[in-house]
Amino acid sequence: MNSANGAAVVVGVDGSEPALRAVRLAAAEAARRHRPLRVVHGFIWPLLHVPVNQLAEGPPGGGLRRQAQELVAEAVAAAEAAAPGLRISGEIIDGEASAVLIGESPTATMIVLGDRGLGGFAALVVGSVAIQVASYADCPVLVGRGEEHAAGPVVVGVDGSALSRAAVEFAAEEAAVRGARLHAVHAYTHPASGGPGDMQPLVYEENQLRGEEERVLAESLTGLTERYPEVPVTRAVVHARPVAALTEASREAQLLVVGSQGRGELRELLLGSVSHGVLHRAACPVAVIRSPA
């Protein structure tokens, strides 16, 4: 995570209701972290050579750029109402939304956005902008899914990978600033033979396998209580598919944190199957960590 002094929480807006929910989520996050909030709108129309200013024969207050200014002003007002006293700025940046937000990410504390925007099909549980930004951003990405269960824990998915350990660190920090419990979930399934030549045994002794998985979780949490003594930590080793286990845990969580890619993911998949799955199914906001903090 970018921890430079004064680095802002950045929220992408497009005038949709999910974006306004993301604004309120981002404002709360910025207030907890004592960071400024930067409201950004990617203004694509100049790239398409569409006239953006008011036409002489058009109605007063018309024009695409004027509409963009109004939606940014509305978002800033929503943020001010959600977190009075927060330092807030708004800007329209020419460019496609995903590219604009990814461009903001190297200097941002985090990027926050809604799970869908204008023009998103109802059947698309997570929009293309959220997927692209979560795949490429250089800082944590917080996607406003479901609802925050204020009394619930911060849940983190753990698989023993480097990104998983970065996710644990981010989740512990989030739990600390929220005054919440941290709940670490490690899900596993029985290994199976992949075909001829695969030397893995087909049957594993359950107690031995569970012991190995409990060690993976314990090692991923090593030193956490020393770094965050104020954060209560609970843990669960679950015999289930990771997406299913994390989705279930999200039902009572205020935040779910995952690494963008875990053990066994193909390197070509910038967003791994687990992170992609929980972005589509989680019942609370999801933070995706792409690079170690």
CATH of the domain at 40: 3.40.50.620
Q: Do 24 and 82 share a domain, yes or no?
A: yes
What is the rounded distance in angstroms from the CA atom of residue 218 to the CA atom of residue 236?
10
Q: Do 183 and 250 share a domain, yes or no?
A: yes
> In terms of DSSP H, where are the helices of 56-187?
64-82, 97-104, 128-136, 162-178
Number of domains in the chain: 2
Find tokens 């490429």 and name the residue. Answer: 136
What are 135's two structure tokens? 């795949």
Residue 225: give the domain boundaries: 154-192+205-289
What are 146's two structure tokens? 């479901």
Q: Would 199 be classed as within a structural domain?
A: no
What is the rounded distance in angstroms from the CA atom of residue 109 to the CA atom of residue 141?
9
**Whole-number pLDDT of residue 175:** 98
Per-residue burial over 241-280, b = 16 or more CB atoms within 10 Å of its CB, e = otherwise:
ebbebbbbbbeebbbbbbbbbbeebeeeebbbbbbbbbbb
Q: Do 123 and 164 share a domain, yes or no?
A: no
Q: Would 21 be classed as within a structural domain?
A: yes
Q: Would 51 be classed as within a structural domain?
A: no
What is the rounded distance in angstroms from the CA atom of residue 106 to the CA atom of residue 219?
30
**Whole-number pLDDT of residue 39:** 97
Q: How many CA atoms lie within 13 A of 114 on its CB side?
A: 23
Q: Do 133 and 166 share a domain, yes or no?
A: no
Q: Would 270 be classed as within a structural domain?
A: yes
pTM, entire model: 0.85
**Whole-number pLDDT of residue 52:** 52
Q: Is residue 1 within 8 Å of 110, Cβ to Cβ?
A: yes
Q: Do 130 and 258 share a domain, yes or no?
A: no
**Would strands 286-289 and 141-144 be described as parallel, antiparallel, or unpaired?**
antiparallel
Q: Is residue 92 within 8 Å of 68, Cβ to Cβ?
A: yes
Q: Do 106 and 172 share a domain, yes or no?
A: no
**Whole-number pLDDT of residue 269:** 43
Q: Do 232 and 124 share a domain, yes or no?
A: no
Is 258 in a helix, a strand, or coil?
strand
**Would strands 255-259 and 286-289 be described as parallel, antiparallel, or unpaired?**
parallel
Q: Do 114 and 163 share a domain, yes or no?
A: no
What is the rounded distance in angstroms from the CA atom of residue 207 to the CA atom of residue 183?
23
Q: Is residue 130 within 8 Å of 142, Cβ to Cβ?
A: no
Q: Is residue 153 within 8 Å of 182, Cβ to Cβ?
A: yes
Q: Quick one: which H or E segment has residue 155?
A: strand 154-157
Q: Please list, in sequence order, all residues whose beta carbon lies within 8 angstroms of the beta carbon of residue 136, skipping any fewer than 6 positions away.
A: 98, 102, 105, 270, 290
Q: Would 55 be classed as within a structural domain?
A: no
Q: Do 184 and 93 share a domain, yes or no?
A: no
Phi, psi torsion values for 115, nearest 5 degrees? -75, -20
Q: Would 135 be classed as within a structural domain?
A: yes
pLDDT tens, residue order, the chain (293 aa): 555 557 999 999 998 899 999 999 999 999 999 999 999 999 885 554 444 555 444 444 447 888 889 999 999 999 999 999 999 999 999 999 999 999 999 999 999 999 876 544 333 345 688 888 998 999 999 999 999 999 999 999 999 888 889 999 999 999 999 999 999 999 988 765 444 444 455 455 777 888 889 999 999 999 999 999 999 999 999 999 999 999 999 999 999 999 986 554 433 344 668 888 999 899 999 999 986 54
What is the rounded distance in angstroms from the CA atom of residue 189 to the CA atom of residue 166?
23
